[in-house]
A and B are shown apart, each in its own frame.
Chain A
Amino acid sequence: MHSHGDSVLPLVLIGCGAVSQRSYLPALRALQSAGRLRVTALVDDDERACHAMAQIFPSAQQTGTLDDVVAPAGSLAIVASGLDTRSDHLATALARRWHVLAEAPISTSTARAHALLETAKAQDVLFAVAHPRRFFPAVRYLRELCQDQPLGALLHIDIAEGGPLPRSAARPQAGVMLESGIHALDLLVWWLGEPQQMSYSDDAFGGFEINARADLIFGTDTTASLHVTRDWTSPQRYRFEFERGLAEWAVDESRQLTLQLSGTRAALRGELLAPLGNSAVRSSALASRAQCLHTQLAHVLTAIRGGEALEISGEQTLAALQWVERCYARRRPLLQPWLTAEEQARLQTPLTETFSTLP
């Protein structure tokens, strides 16, 4: 793999908008201070966004086009641009033989995503995908509950996630399933493996959906319901029903969980700590959200140096993108009983929803 030796790794930040400012900025600042990387270029056609990041990284080159960037092969590019330009930016970065850490989804189609991953292989560079939630202690703990079954077998997961876009958000480039639902699907596949059956419906009618529902069956006993929205503030929670208890995770809480054991009279909400050991030593809290974002980026840097295998490769995240494509391919109009019967008819709502068995 193309490596930049032991010197400080040059980093190109492509897309300086809200995602970069909220998620990457603190980690980049900390890792630059630690001498592990140097932000050498900031790329965004929005001058204001570029300028905001340049306040923190004043020596970085600022440019609106990737072609102007001066960075050697073996640099790392964080690709956090909008979905409309993301795969083009990835293709350019890979052509320059830069390692990449890309926001998900890496493309709007699996065919294009495959092609990008093949290019990365041919160029002998690393292709990492950002899924910071997979680094959250709460998400990892839930994976243990699902797979090791200390609360018995998992019966059902109910997911309600999303809400109106924040005031600063840019024009949506895709429907809510592709832009947001893909992250929930990635977690479901990571926790439970690939589903066997699914049904899917949304409210797009010639445009982009703002409400999407997927019902999935994993194995023989586990079902999942997923509702993602840009329409109205959802409960923002994942609820797990096990044979011997319930667990609830609030979206984006890195180390908080609520548990209720069957037969007990109360639920318990708390913070995940390091395992209890020596009674003289107080257990410390596990990582916060900001710390997880730092961990993810530090892990990619270590992987580039060959220090460890990449935890979330591009190939691993393809499954979620394929599932979004399957959802769209099997799309049915969402039942919206708050519309008039005539409007429902116009939306061609079927009388019943049926499960389709997947090939």
Chain B
Amino acid sequence: MKIAVLGAGGLIANRVVETVHLGGRGDVVAIVARENELPRPSRFGLETRIADMADASALTSALTGCDVALFAATDSAAVVEHTPSLVCQAAAAARVPRVIYVGSAFVHGRNPAPNTDETSLLQASSLLSADAAHASAERRFFAECQRLNLAGYALRPGIVYGPRSPFIATVAEDLAAGEAWLYRRGPGIFNGVYVDNLVHAILLCAEASNGAGQAYLISDAETVTWAELYLTASLELDISPRSLHDVQELPEFSPSWLDRAERAVASPVVQRALPLVPAALKQRTKSLLKAWNAPLSTETWSMPQPAQPRITPELGELQRAAWKFPFGRAHRVLGYLPPVKFAEGMRRSFAWWRFTRGETPPAY
């Protein structure tokens, strides 16, 4: 098997590269959009190619000679929505018969209704813009696979955690800053999946003899609450769990102007006009939006305040979840069973995090 891994510097793709290469499970072609993303795959001296997903010719060339193409859409809503078509068309042109798309379980919402599974209807109107973009992207993915006669597999993981995961970094930093919190002491379900479990599902899709044309929810084996997640994290970091804020009521959130801007950019009219905008201007605008932070209101006469919980609309919804995404279909069709337990996943995740903070890893 020769697998083309797009965005090979990212959390999931990097782990696929490590797993396939170190596990001797096939050949990997690591594809990145820019040279600055080369360092992670370049550790292994394997084949690397550079192709922006928006450049059809470069992408086709990069995929040539591969049996499977894997991509995870993790950029802005506009990019997420349009990536599947571009990748599928390039895969067809390069005669790559199988495409795996890593989307998101949150196409069902961050606080999914009880009994939600892959057969549940997707209600885009009730979703956050990023999640709605994933829902739209997945529809496009399957439509393109059908049109181009490709074997398409879509995976729907929840929060992907593990080494090099921004989620783990945020948990660690929030705990260290005294800004971590639990909604009503944290009985909500943490819909996460350890990155190795997701990679296991990806490789099952790469090797499966059936099951194409369907989406699969992918999650850990255990049902874990947010309280258990933060308690485990605080033990790993040697921070007292008593520093966790107890939030009884979530604030009202109205869509931010950034959210509204993302939805506007994702609209078909704007997407048709975008090629006319110079690339440099688009890049500058993206950088500005990314860098923008609401100015803090400061009262010079006020006393220093204790750290406050850092509540975001996304985390608010996630912590209210009362339903664990099931992986029954992935188990029945692909034979998926998560190989890494939650406790082991957390141990590995925080071993990595402590290393990034300068701690010497203990010897085995």
Contacts and interface: CB of A to CB of B under 8 A. Distances in A.
Q: Do A and B bind?
A: yes
Interface of B: 18-19, 22-23, 34-36, 38-46, 162-164, 169, 196, 348-349, 351-352, 355-358, 360-364
Nearest to A213: B360
Given A231-B40, A337-B364, A338-B352, 11 more contacts: A164-B39, A167-B34, A205-B44, A205-B45, A213-B360, A231-B39, A232-B169, A233-B356, A234-B358, A337-B348, A338-B355
B18 A343 contact: yes
Best-buried of B40, B42, B46, B352 by chain A (most CB within 10 Å): B42
A335 interface: yes
Contact of B38 (A171, A205, A233, A342): A171
A343 B22 contact: yes
B164 A231 contact: yes
Contacts of A211: 355
Contacts, number: 105
A263 interface: no
Contacts of B349: 338
Q: Which 9 residue pairs spanning A and B have beta carbons closest together?
A: A206-B45, A207-B45, A338-B352, A165-B36, A338-B163, A169-B36, A171-B35, A335-B361, A338-B348
A353 interface: yes
A18 to B, nearest CB: 11
B43 A207 contact: yes
Contact of A210 (B22, B43, B45, B358): B43
B351 A337 contact: yes
Interface string A273-294: 0000000000000000000000
Contacts of A351: 363-364
A75 interface: no
* Interface of A, helix, strand, loop or mixed by DSSP: loop
Contacts of A209: 43
Nearest to B350: A338
Contacts of B38: 171-172
Contacts of A204: 43
A299 interface: no
Contacts of B348: 337-339
Interface of A: 158, 160, 164-172, 176, 203-211, 213, 215, 225, 227, 229-235, 334-344, 346-347, 349, 351-353
Contacts of B23: 342-343, 346
A33 to B, nearest CB: 29
B39 A208 contact: yes
Contacts of B36: 164-170
B363 A172 contact: no
Contacts of B169: 232
A340 B80 CA distance: 31
A299 B222 CA distance: 64
A229 B358 CA distance: 11
Which of A169, A235, A339, A344 has most B Cβ within 10 Å? A339
A215 B360 CA distance: 10
Given A206-B45, A235-B357, A344 B364 contact: yes
Contacts of B43: 203-210
Nearest to B344: A340
A335 B363 contact: yes
Contacts of A160: 357-358
Contacts of B42: 172, 207-208, 210
